[in-house]
A = this chain, B = another copy of it.
Amino acid sequence: MPRSRARRDAPLEEREFHSWLSRHLTGPSRGLLPVGDDAAALRVPRGRVAVLSTDSLVEGTHFLIESPAASVGAAAANVSLSDVAAKGAQPAALLLDLIVPVGTPRRWAEDLVRAADRAGASVGAPLVGGDTKPGPTRTVVSTVLGWGRPDRLVARGGARPGDVLVTTGTVGRGGLAAHRLGRTRSGRTSARKKALVGILDIRPRVREGLVLAEFAHAMLDTSDGLADASWLLAGASGCRTVVEEGLLPLALGLRASASSPGHRRSLAFYGGDYELLAALPAGTVARARAAVRRTGGRLTVIGGVERGRGAVLRNSGRSVRMPLGGWRPFSVPSPPIP
């Protein structure tokens, strides 16, 4: 066995890992302090505000021990990158905390960290720092620092009646991916397995977020599904959000995969899509759509904002309360949609 292979099979050891990191990461050369120092440091672009978000993935809750390390690493970076993108900021730096049992193969940590670094670097936020600690369960925490324009920070709470509701990408990609994996891996759709993989292919909408920040009154990512996001935007804004079911840009294959209209809605509304949901002034939609298209992205009008409270689902003129589901980490599973 070649020496490098043997070393990758060896258990993780902190100082060796630091030395590996200093040779394999894309970002630290851009930093102002060397890898392995107490902290990372980076330059601040002129006239920007700092935007920070953090998120974690836990083995057994968000991924399985057999999940590919690279997928876990990319997902860990992307969940936080998506949050920073949703505020209209440009991600600039990624930090990773890795908590793993003593004896975890170096290979796992290396593959994970390399994938996280690549995911971050691909949208401008290379891995610049982190920490490694022993613990009983593999846990990955990511933190992203981004730079936003102070006049273009978009909160969840600024939507106004008359605004148009738009989404990037498609609806139901997360739910569909989880459904397919649940089916193919265990022969049945295990809710837990679904959740474990629904997060694994996330494309943080950084360019779209930067464009939308110019127009949007409110914005957030659909990390816990469209239903959840439409409730959150409504609640934070003190308005009612209305989603027109017929307008939804459903993910390819979603109709064919769903066993019933209720199942189709569950996949569409409850899966973590990590798209951006935004409320735009009606007069800006055409410009926003053209600008998003120029970045290679897609923007679809899916409803509007009205006076009132809560989130509504409308189909052929009939309105029902948007089922309040999605991923609720500390609660029971989402209710089925009739």
Interface residues of A (CB under 8 A from B): 11-14, 32-34, 37-44, 48-58, 60-62, 83-84, 86-87, 89, 93, 95-97, 99, 102, 128-137, 139, 141, 143, 145-146, 148, 150, 153, 155-157, 220-221, 236, 328-331
A236 and B40 contact, Cβ closer than 8 Å, known pairs A50-B50, A56-B141, A61-B133: no
Residues from chain B with Cβ under 8 Å of A134 in the complex: 58, 61, 329-330
Partner of A52, one of B14, B40, B86: B40
Query: Do B41 and A51 touch across chains, with their CB atoms under 8 A apart?
Result: yes
Partner of A150, one of B43, B137, B157: B43
Residues from chain B with Cβ under 8 Å of A55 in the complex: 97, 131, 133
A56 and B99 contact, Cβ closer than 8 Å, known pairs A132-B329, A330-B134: yes
Chain B's closest residue to A58 (CB) is B135
- With A33-B87, A40-B51, A60-B135 known, 9 other A-B pairs at CB within 8 A are A33-B155, A44-B49, A50-B145, A54-B96, A54-B129, A57-B133, A61-B135, A97-B141, A132-B329
Query: Do B150 and A12 touch across chains, with their CB atoms under 8 A apart?
Result: no
Q: How far is the CA of A54 from the CA of B141 in the complex (A)?
A: 10
Query: Do A38 and B329 touch across chains, with their CB atoms under 8 A apart?
Result: no
A53 and B129 contact, Cβ closer than 8 Å, known pairs A12-B330, A37-B156, A38-B221: yes
- Chain copies in the assembled complex: 2
Residues from chain B with Cβ under 8 Å of A153 in the complex: 32-33, 41
Residues from chain B with Cβ under 8 Å of A61 in the complex: 133-135
A331 to chain B, nearest CB (A): 7
**CB-defined A-B contacts under 8 Å, sample of 16:** A14-B330, A32-B153, A33-B87, A34-B156, A37-B156, A37-B220, A39-B51, A39-B53, A41-B50, A44-B48, A52-B93, A52-B143, A58-B99, A60-B136, A143-B143, A145-B145
Residues from chain B with Cβ under 8 Å of A12 in the complex: 330
Chain B's closest residue to A154 (CB) is B33
Query: Do B220 and A32 touch across chains, with their CB atoms under 8 A apart?
Result: no
A131 and B32 contact, Cβ closer than 8 Å, known pairs A43-B150, A329-B14: no
Residues from chain B with Cβ under 8 Å of A84 in the complex: 38-39
